[in-house]
Structure 1
C-alpha cells in the first residue's frame, strides 16, 4: 500500500472511534430532547386486540401533526394581520403538506378490517375523534364556525377555553379579507367588521374584490399568491376529509360513531362545507 495513501480504517477501528464519541452521560441525549420515554410510554391498550396499538398510534400521531398545524396556522394568521405575507406563505404551504401527511396516514388505518375494529370497539366507550379539541380549533381557524361544536369540550374547562378562543377569533379567511380591504380593494364592512363567531356567508362583493386580484395578478402579485395558497390549503383539507370518510366507511360501514355522531353520514355532510367560497367561484367568472 502506498505510504502516501494510508489504508482505510478497518470496521472495528471505525466502531472504536465512533464509540469514543457516544458517551452522553453528561449531555442531553436524543431521547431526553424528544421526551421519548413519555411519548413511547403513552400507548395503553385497553383490549386484548392486537390491532389496538395501530388504532392508538394512528390517532396520537395525528394529534401531533395537528399540534404543528395549529402552530403554523396561528402564526400565518398573525402574519397576514400584520401585512407580512412572505412568512405566511411558507407557513400555509407547510400546513398543506401536513394535511397531505394526514391523508396518507388513513392508508395505514385502512389496513384494519371490520372484524379487527369490532374486537376493540367495545373498549372505546364514548371516546371519539369528534372530541378532538385540536381538530375543532383547526376547523374554527379555517372558518367553519359552529357554536354546537363547543359542547363536546364542556367537560374540560381548560380545553373549552382553548376552543372558545379559536371560536371567537377571526379566521384565516377573515384576516385575508381584511388584508384586501387594507390594500384598497372594495370590501363590504359586513365581512371585515363582523361577529367572528358566525358562520361565513359568501358575498358577490367579496368575489369582485378577488376577481380584481385574479384579473390583474401582476398588479396584485402577493394577494394573488395568497389566493392560491388558500386554494391549495382547502384542496388539501377536502382530501383529508374525503379520506376520513372513506376509511370510516371501509372499517365500520354506516354504524353510528362511538361519540354518538352519525358516523359516515355526518362526515359526508362535512364534504359539502366550502371554506373560501369566493376563491372557488371566481374561477367560473374569470
Structure 2
C-alpha cells in the first residue's frame, strides 16, 4: 500500500535562505579576519605587555588623593547635571515621538531629532562641543545631554506606545483636558519604567563622563589620560578603583530608587 503524501513530508524542511545567509556571514567573517593583522606573535607580545602593565599597577598609589577627588567630583557633577537636563528634555520629546498619542506630522520630527542625537558616540559629540565652547566641564555636560536625549527619549516613546489606550479613553470620556489625560492615564502606566530608564541613564552618564574627559571635556578622564601618558600605572590603578567604587555606589542607589517607586 503506497504511503500517503503526508507521511512522506519532511517535518523539518531545510531552510535554504537561512543557510545561505549564515554561510555568507561566515565567509565574510573569514574574509574580515584575513584583512586584520592578527598573528600569534602579536598576541603573545600583547599579553606580555599587558602583564607588565598590570604588575606596575600594584600597589595602587592614592597619595595624590586631592587630585583624584577633584576629578571624581567633577565627573559626578557632569553626570548629574547632564542627566537632570537630558531626562527633563527627554520627557516632552519622548511624548511627542509616541505615535499612539501624536499625529505623524508631530511624531516624525521628534523621532528624527532622537535619531540625530543617537547617531554619534558621546566622545565624538564631546569633541564637537570642545571645539565649540572650549575645554572643560561645559563641553562634557552638553555632550552627555545629547546622549541622554537620544537614549532616554527613544525608550520613553516606546514605553508610551505600549500603554493600554483603554485608560486614556476612559479619562477622555470624563471631559478631562489634555494635560489631565496625560497625568492620570499615561503617567501612571509608565512611571516605574521611566524611573528605571532614568536611573540607568544616570549610571551610564557616570561612565561616559570618564570617556568625554579624555578628549578635554572635564572630569576624571583627563587625569586618567595624563596618567597613562606618563606611564604612571600605580596612579592609573587608583583612579580605576575609585571609578569602580563610584559606579557600584550608583548601582546601589539605582536599586534603592527602583524599590521606592515599585
Normalising by structure 2, what TM-score?
Answer: 0.29
Normalising by structure 1, what TM-score?
Answer: 0.27
More helix by share: 2
User: Could you say which structure has the larger radius of gyration?
Assistant: 2
Q: Which has the higher contact order (CA 8 A, sep 6+)?
A: 2
